[in-house]
Amino acid sequence: MSGTPADAMAACRAAFAEGRTRPLAWRLAQLDGLERLLVREGRALVDAVVADLGRAATEVRLTEVASVQREVATLRRGLPRWVRDERVRTPLVLHPARSWIRREPLGVVGIVGPWNYPVNLLLVPLAAAVAAGNAAVLKPSEEAPATSALLAERLGHYLDPSTVAVCEGGPSATEALVDAGPDHLFFTGSPRVGGLVGARAAARLVPTTLELGGKSPAVVDRSADVASAGLRIAWGKLLNAGQSCIAPDYVLVDDARAGELLEALVGAVRRLYGPDPWRSADYGRIVSDRHVDRLAGLLDGHGGRVVVGGEVDRVTRYVAPTVVVDPDPAAPLLQEEIFGPILPVVRVRDADEAAAWIRRRPDPLALYVFGEDRAVLDRLLATTRSGGVCWNTTMHQFASPSLPFGGIGGSGIGAYHGRHGVERLSQLRPVLHKGRRLDLPLAYPPYPAWKGRLLTTALELPSRLRVARRPAGGPPSVPTPQ
């Protein structure tokens, strides 16, 4: 299916109205189609992403193809259970009656994908949408043109083309998709653009899932295995040349371990990409000249000390893996999302100072905690907010279909992956069936005084009894978090 977003939306809506997408068999068939696409077109998808982003083919295979295959397998395995009607308790005063929740599709889901993971972050939301019984209109990123063209040309060969459409284009196509009035809009991108898209959707009463980003911190406690922390932070930061919404954006390290961590980070860069990462076949490039210039600007006047890297080659769009220690907190490097292979390291006294530092900034999409002291982890969980958390690793929260992936506050709205994606893109429709027998006239008007007293007593008695059993006094005391 091709044409404008409005045309695609109208055609998909007509197919949805016919009930085509509701049967479980249709949903499973679309997941099967996605799996065939990933198997049969896997090499072509990898080549397209490599052409668009200059990433290593193995890295693309793992993050763009294998990870989506794992998501599809999880959905296919669990879907028959997840979409069954769920019986729920009915209050005694409503008996004879029974209640249940039916999970129904929303309609047509609009999906706007990003350029940094142009396969994964388009097809995983699509898998959730069709698993929930929705039609879908997709808008791939224009900054990954080879991938966009391939998906537009091939997706209809594997999925029902009357219910799944791809519309290529730039920002105007995104605006047109929102204006076409999808029943739910799924957007992945920067917080700035996400705010604009979200506002446009809100003006049309279109509900949204916004997967954004922000400055995700890594906290290295004095109890950490610093060698392991350095390797795992460097790996997470430099995957896709730092162009990941959940990449560690900066490090807060206990001052007692800062020197060791810097040595570990420098050693990890050399271990992963050799003495000259420019020559490494496994180190990626920056997506565009504009982003290279943006990153070069972050390296100007940061006020810190570069301990490794710092080189920029605009011709090949190469920005070296770079670690900057003690930059100026007011510098753009510590104020803006970096989205590139530059890692600021800030010394702090302890985990409490790290928590205070995090709270002064917008809620991040991810929080990475390194240390062996569980009390420190619990304290950070209790005193900060983030979309997700990893303890002694980075990035892996995204790889588990069992965990909801999403942000909070400025880092996003809503979560998906596995069952959570099906729930997000379904309506939880409540149904109550009332039996015809024992239809007491007590509940119907008129309400003389005696009937009002009787009804009030019957409805309020459980609460009154619970309150009567509690000790008298003021509000219950709540322990203060330690």
Tokens of 143: 């900054």
Tell me whether residue 72 is exposed, middle or buried, using C-beta atoms within 10 angstroms of its C-beta: 0 to 12, 13 to 18, 19 or more: buried
On the CB side of 398, CA atoms within 13 Å amount to 23
Q: Are 346 and 253 in contact (CB under 8 A)?
A: yes
DSSP string, 47-87: HHHHHHH---HHHHIIIIIIHHHHHHHHHHHHHHHHTS-EE
Q: Which of 83, 64, 31 is nearest to 423 (CA)?
A: 83
Residue 375 CA: distances (Å) to CA of 220, 363, 367, 380, 383: 14, 22, 16, 9, 12
Residue 70 CA: distances (Å) to CA of 67, 109, 218, 388: 5, 22, 27, 20
Q: What DSSP character marks residue 365? A: S
Choice among 167, 211, 337, 390 that is catalytic = 211
d(CA 428, CA 411) in angstroms, rounded, equals: 25
Residue 399 CA: distances (Å) to CA of 16, 128, 280, 333, 396: 31, 15, 25, 28, 5
Choice among 143, 245, 337, 390 that is catalytic = 245
d(CA 172, CA 174) in angstroms, rounded, equals: 5
List 252's β-bridge partners, or say none. Answer: 219, 346
Residue 204 CA: distances (Å) to CA of 7, 122, 129, 210, 325: 18, 23, 21, 16, 46
On the CB side of 419, CA atoms within 13 Å amount to 11
Q: Is 460 a catalytic residue?
A: no
Tokens of 321: 């893996």
Residue position matching structure tokens 């695609």: 8
Tokens of 472: 């008298």
Q: Which residues contact 447 (CB under 8 A, 6 or more apart)?
A: 455
Q: Is 245 a catalytic residue?
A: yes
Which amino acid would we find at residue 271? R
For 292-425, where are the E strands, in sequence order?
305-308, 312-313, 318-319, 322-325, 342-348, 366-370, 388-391, 405-406, 412-413, 415-416
Q: Are 228 and 206 in contact (CB under 8 A)?
A: no
List 253's β-bridge partners, or say none. Answer: 220, 347
Indicate which residues carry an active-site annotation.
Answer: 211, 245
